[in-house]
Amino acid sequence: MDSNNSEIIHDFPPFFKVFKDGNIERYMPLHGPVPAGLDPTTGVQSKDVVVSPETEVKARIFIPKINDGGQKLPLFVHYHGGGFCMGSPFGEIGKNFLSSLVLKANVIVVSVDYRLAPEHRLPIAYDDSSAALHWIASHSNGEGPEAWLNEHADLNRVFLGGESAGANIAHYAAVQAGVNAPVGLNIVGLVMVHPFFGGKECDKMYQFLSSTSSGCDDDPKLNPAADPDLEKMPCGKVLVCVAEKDWLRDRGVSYYETLEKLKGEGFAELFETEGEDHCFFLFNSEADKAGLLLQKVVDFFNLS
């Protein structure tokens, strides 16, 4: 790379930088994928599926050990974090967290591998995530392309959620499901863990990642209060989790307050972890507070 091409024209640490020749370098390279299959520690099985042959978008399905062949379990549609530009359902971090969730909550998880920006500029990730819901809905008659969902997923008890940017995407997918409801899918709850709804530190990066966003508070993807379709969100309850030391905390609290104001007291629940930072539970899953957060999500599934 010559000196001209090696000039950095955009720099968004800790995510990525862009060189003059168009090359993109991520500060934290993606970890290699972990093969799907049986997790001997939890008994959770996983497999990878193609959600859209046209776009080659995939997902990883996690399912607990099922003793009754006719048993139907709630379904959690998960969107991973990573600033819209990093992350995957196929890595070790996602596997550990989601396997623990599947084991404790006795749910099926479909974790969507939406296409990443900036190679695939937003709103492509949002489009992929909504398309995944319609793919899941194609199993409502028991004749969809994936046997695990046909046989064991209760599509009358569907939850959406994710962490950080994934929570942002989950919120958007939920609102769009209210606008254009996938037939046969009943969304009962939304799990928002340390949600990313912008802020001065990242608005410029988001605007760079997006082909349509102003990167400001008038963008409903960054500010749900500005979304005229917000009231159409179909789920019956929302869990909003924030962390005391997370710079995104106040935006998460504001999101909770917006929902309470719009939908009424009790529609949303706020859970704060004191003394912790953004997505701490993914990087220290054995910590006591990570266990408390996981249990909160499990309880939300069981009580919704």
The verdict on 25 and 51 lying in the same domain is no
Residue 29 confidence (pLDDT) above 70: no
18 and 40 housed in the same domain: no
Q: What is the pLDDT of residue 4?
A: 59
Q: Indicate if 10 and 141 belong to the same structural domain.
A: no
Q: Would you call 303 helix, strand, or coil by DSSP?
A: helix
CB 112 within 8 A of CB 125: no
> 98 and 169 share a domain?
yes
Stronger pLDDT, 300 or 284, i.e. the higher one: 300
- pLDDT value, residue 181: 80
- The enclosing domain of 283 has a CATH number of 3.40.50.1820
Q: Are residues 259 and 119 in the same domain?
A: yes
Summarize the confidence of residues 236-255 as an average pLDDT.
96
Neighbouring CB atoms inside 10 A of 229's CB total 13
Side-chain-side CA neighbours of 44 within 13 Å: the count stands at 23
Is 221 found in the same domain as 238?
Answer: yes
Render pLDDT for 171-222 as a digit per residue (tens, 0 to 9). 999 999 999 888 899 999 999 999 999 876 567 899 999 988 887 778 999 9
Residues 202, 85 share a domain: yes
- Do 77 and 113 share a domain, yes or no? yes
pLDDT of 233 higher than 90 = yes
Q: What is the pLDDT of residue 33?
A: 87
Catalytic site residues? 164, 246, 278
pLDDT band for position 1 (cuts 50, 70, 90): very low
Q: Are residues 164 and 177 in the same domain?
A: yes
Question: Domain range spanning residue 192?
Answer: 35-303
Residues 126 and 234 in one domain: yes
Instruction: Please give the pLDDT value at position 131.
Output: 94
Give the per-residue pLDDT at 69: 72
Find the helix packing angle between 288-303 and 92-105, rounded to 10°.
50
CB contact at 8 A, 26 and 16:
yes
Q: Summarize the confidence of residues 135-154 as an average pLDDT.
A: 96
User: Does residue 249 have a pLDDT over 50?
Assistant: yes
Q: Which residue in 228, 237, 214 sits closest to 302, CA to CA?
A: 237
Angle, helices 124-137 vs 165-179, to 10°: value is 60
Do residues 53 and 128 share a domain? yes
Residues 266 and 296 in one domain: yes
Q: How many domains does the chain have?
A: 2
* Overall average pLDDT of the 19-41 stretch: 87
Give burial (CB, 10 Å; 0-12/13-18/19+) of 253. Answer: middle
Model's pTM, two decimal places? Answer: 0.95
